[in-house]
């Protein structure tokens, strides 16, 4: 019997809904599907408090691991591992980053093909590059990727995600659309399942990514890629600014964390229209090179 292991962490449950939709056709095809849910030793709150949320910024940006609850798998080897993750501050979530840096995680991933499944607001490309490197260091190999994103405009999605993360509300209002990834997109993730099942049953994953891309598994916006590259550099600078005052539980850094909690949302709203315009101009000027870069980033 063919076996697939799903490894994931989902704070809100949205990612697990995506994975359940994707995995159902695999089970129907007779593949044994096992789900390993990663849990931090100290659970992250949801909804978040403002300071707690922004205090995770440096650890997210620099992929500093946290302690995880003990975990294990039913089997030693799998035909495919599906690694599901969300994006925190343009990086893989801390629990998934911690799994990928653990000895036990490396043992699970070693010599095994990996399909990554991402649930994100809109920017995920550089996080995926880090995940690919981490998987490779574990001895695994990412063979394909599926990325589902919030389809709301950038500024609108900033508002809806803040409302969801801090108040636990993602329902639509008279002004705002429903936050997060569309329910129909989550349900429609099932269309990828038969493609994955066929590749696993045939024992040939060499063209899995190509087949998934034909189904719309991932797209990269050149303008968002530019914005993400710029933001990643700024995040690293501010991450160093905070962490220079101490580690995660050091109260000495909370003044800088509080400053970030004010500057980041204000910067997003004030600078976003300017950066949107500038990135649109740059993407026009660099159209061919950006298209080639995006195409290359989608290859596996």
Distance CA 166, CA 57 (A): 15
0.75 exceeded by pTM: yes
Q: Mapping DSSP to helix (H, G, I), strand (E, B) and coil, where does residue 217 land?
A: coil
For the stretch 146-194, pLDDT in tens is 999 999 988 899 899 999 999 999 999 999 999 999 999 999 999 999 9
pLDDT, average across residues 198-203: 98
Judged by DSSP in three states, 140 sits in coil
pLDDT digits (tens, 9 = 90+) for 16-68: 999 999 999 999 999 999 999 999 999 999 999 999 999 999 999 999 999 99
- Specify whether the CB–CB gap between 128 and 85 falls below 8 A: no
- The tokens for 116 are 């990554």
Stated length of the chain: 300
Confidence bin at 268 (pLDDT 50/70/90): confident
The sign of the dihedral angle between the CA atoms of 91, 263, 247, 53 is negative
User: If we measure between CA atoms, which residue out of 120, 35, 50, 110 comes closest to residue 85?
Assistant: 120
Spatial separation of the C-alpha atoms in residues 248 and 76, rounded to whole Å: 34
Domains parsed from the chain with CATH numbers: 3-219 (3.40.50.360), 223-297 (no CATH)
Give the other-Cβ count within 10 Å of 191's Cβ.
15
When pLDDT is averaged across residues 269-283 and rounded to a whole number, the result is 70
């Amino acid at each position: 019997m063919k076996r697939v292991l799903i490894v994931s962490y989902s704070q809100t449950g949205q990612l697990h809904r995506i994975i359940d939709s994707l995995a159902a056709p695999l089970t129907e095809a007779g593949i044994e599907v096992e789900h390993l849910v990663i849990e931090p030793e100290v659970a992250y709150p949801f909804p978040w408090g403002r300071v707690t949320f922004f205090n995770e910024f440096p650890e997210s940006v620099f992929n500093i691991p946290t302690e995880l609850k003990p975990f294990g798998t039913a089997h030693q080897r799998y035909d495919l591992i599906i690694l599901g993750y969300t994006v925190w501050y343009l990086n893989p979530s801390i629990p998934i980053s911690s799994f990928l840096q653990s000895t036990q995680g490396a043992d699970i991933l070693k010599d095994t093909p990996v399909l990554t499944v991402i649930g994100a607001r809109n920017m995920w490309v550089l996080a995926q590059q880090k995940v690919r490197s981490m998987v490779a260091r574990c001895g695994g190999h990412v063979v394909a990727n599926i990325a589902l994103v919030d389809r709301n405009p950038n500024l609108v999605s900033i508002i809806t995600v803040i409302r969801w993360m801090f108040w636990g509300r993602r329902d639509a209002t008279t002004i705002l659309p429903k936050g997060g990834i569309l329910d129909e997109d989550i349900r429609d993730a099932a269309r990828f399942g038969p493609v994955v099942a066929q590749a696993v049953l045939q024992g040939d994953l060499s063209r899995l990514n190509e087949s998934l891309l034909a189904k719309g598994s991932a797209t990269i916006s050149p303008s968002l890629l530019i914005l993400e590259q710029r933001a990643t550099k700024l995040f690293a600078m501010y991450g160093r600014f905070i962490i220079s005052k101490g580690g995660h539980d050091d109260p000495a850094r909370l003044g800088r964390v509080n400053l970030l909690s004010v500057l980041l949302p204000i910067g997003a709203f004030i600078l976003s229209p300017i950066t949107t315009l500038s990135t649109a101009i740059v993407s026009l000027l660099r159209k061919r090179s950006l298209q080639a870069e995006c195409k290359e980033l989608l290859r596996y």
